[in-house]
Amino acid sequence: MFNKTMHVAVDALERAIAFLLVVIAALGAVDLIVEMYNAVSERGYLTPDTILRVLDSVLVVFIVIELFNIALAYMKRKNVIATVMEAGLVAVVRKLVIFETNADASYVLMKAAALGILILAIGLTWYLLRRSGVCEPESAETASH
């Protein structure tokens, strides 16, 4: 009885989290549209700074979508490793796109080195997982995106 109750509670929690991720992605998309409108209406065109802000918002929405895909795969009791790796790659790419170089040179160098190590770690992990068969690529018919 207790196990069944806990299973139902966990299932409801998983669904609630997935729903909240959809809401967050939708709000992020609305924010993106508002940000683009404000940026263009302010000057009539996008500046490099506003382009970076817009790209940052786009990548954040993609990260939330990847998190939603993780939640869906988890609820279907599928292997989530590939989706987690994709979300990690998008998060690191986001950091690279909005990389700021106007700070202290040693800080910028340390941050760049950390991002480089992260990219290598994620890439190597993905390669090893694919090679071992744990992380098989989805076929075109089963890919959800």
Q: What tokens does 87 get?
A: 């979300």
Domain-embedded: residue 57: yes
Nearest to 50 by CA among 38, 62, 65: 38
Q: Could you tell me if residue 8 is inside a domain?
A: yes
Asked, for residue 24, whether it belongs to a domain, the answer is yes
Domain hosting 87: range is: 2-132
Q: Give a yes or no: residue 141 inside a domain.
A: no
Structural domain includes residue 119:
yes
145 in a domain, yes or no? Answer: no
Residue 52 lies in a domain: yes
Amino acid at 58: V
Q: For position 140, what pLDDT does the model report?
A: 40
| Assigned token pair, 129 | 């997982």
User: What is the DSSP annotation of 66-79?
Assistant: HHHHHHHHHHTT--
In a domain, 94, yes or no: yes
Question: Tokens 């950091």 belong to which residue?
Answer: 95
Q: What one-character DSSP code corresponds to residue 139?
A: P
Instruction: Please tell me the distance from the alpha carbon of residue 119 to that of residue 134, in angstroms, as a whole number.
Output: 20
**Domain total for the chain?**
1
Low-confidence ranges of the chain (pLDDT < 50): 139-143, 145
Beta-carbon neighbour count of residue 54 at 10 Å? 16
What are the DSSP calls for 79-91, one per residue? --HHHHHHHHHHH
Q: Residue 141's pLDDT is what?
A: 43
